[in-house]
Amino acid sequence: MTNDETPLEIRPKLLEAMLPHVAFDGWTKKTMSLAADDLGISPEIAELAYPQGPIEVLQDHLKQADEQLLVAIQALPLNEMKIRDKITQAIKLRLQGAHADKDIVRKGVALLALPQYAPIGMKALWDTSDLMWRAIGDTSTDHNWYTKRMTLSAVYSAVLTYWLNDETENNDGTWEFLDRRIEDVMKIETTKFQIKEVTKNMPSLSKFFGRLRYPNAS
């Protein structure tokens, strides 16, 4: 570390230095202090980098995981895959990417379960679900945009909880659980098709919902 680095430049280094400590001590001020010591900076400098403390570091960690997930999904042969397979693979990729850091994920879930951080946890879950849908090509703008993300958020959180406690070889138990839960997502697609058939001669609601979502759009 150099003395002329800005707090913004320190952030990614501090995050990386914290991870080995998080598995043992959680997302805490203690881990921030230990990471700062590893980097040769004072705890005060670490606090300047992350003024909101460990929860802010965790948020950066989750954003980083989302960015890595996006790259992994984009590498899939999406044009050759069905929606069910795309969603299944998206969730698998997210969990497989965190396999070596399961204790870190567990500590993060524990922190986000605290009442004061629950809104942050819900937003992170929503952001991940939104990223998955957008990455696989979802372009919906009507009420299905919300329904898809709410349903996937519920499915992903359930699978994540199962995965954290899964002791089966190669997480086989988790993938079986995922296959069962993914049916919930597919019900949306089936229902959407049925609604289209019923309302195909009716005025479209997509523009109405689109204006609610994008009030400034023409």
* 3-class SS string, 153-172: HHHHHHHHHHHHCCCCHHHH
What is the pTM for the complete model shown?
0.83
CATH number of 164's domain: 1.10.357
Spatial CA neighbour of 188 closest among 156, 155, 147:
147
Give Rg (Cα) of the chain. 20
DSSP-derived secondary structure for 42-97: -HHHHHHH-TT-HHHHHHHHHHHHHHHHHHHHHTS-GGGS-HHHHHHHHHHHHHHH
One digit per residue, the tens of pLDDT, for the chain of length 218 reads 555 789 899 999 999 999 999 999 999 999 999 999 999 999 999 999 999 999 999 999 999 999 999 999 999 999 999 999 999 999 999 999 999 899 999 999 999 999 999 999 999 999 999 999 999 999 988 888 999 999 999 999 999 999 999 998 899 999 999 999 988 777 766 655 443 443 344 444 444 444 444 555 54
Token digits of residue 95:
């969990």
**Is there a domain that residue 45 lies in?**
no
**Is there a domain that residue 29 lies in?**
no
**Is there a domain that residue 54 lies in?**
no
Task: Determine the Cα angle at 169 with ends 165 and 172, to 5°.
Answer: 75
**Is there a domain that residue 23 lies in?**
no
Domain membership of residue 194 as a residue range: 79-213
Residue with tokens 């899939």: 76
Total domain count, the chain: 1
Spatial CA neighbour of 53 closest among 95, 85, 18:
18
pLDDT of residue 198: 39
Please check whether residue 86 is in contact with residue 184, taking contact to mean a CB–CB distance below 8 angstroms. Answer: no
**Is there a domain that residue 63 lies in?**
no
Q: By three-state DSSP, how is residue 113 classified? A: coil
pLDDT of residue 137: 96
**Is there a domain that residue 176 lies in?**
yes
Spatial CA neighbour of 95 closest among 147, 162, 150:
162
**Is there a domain that residue 169 lies in?**
yes
Query: Nearest 5°: phi and psi at 214?
Result: -125, 75
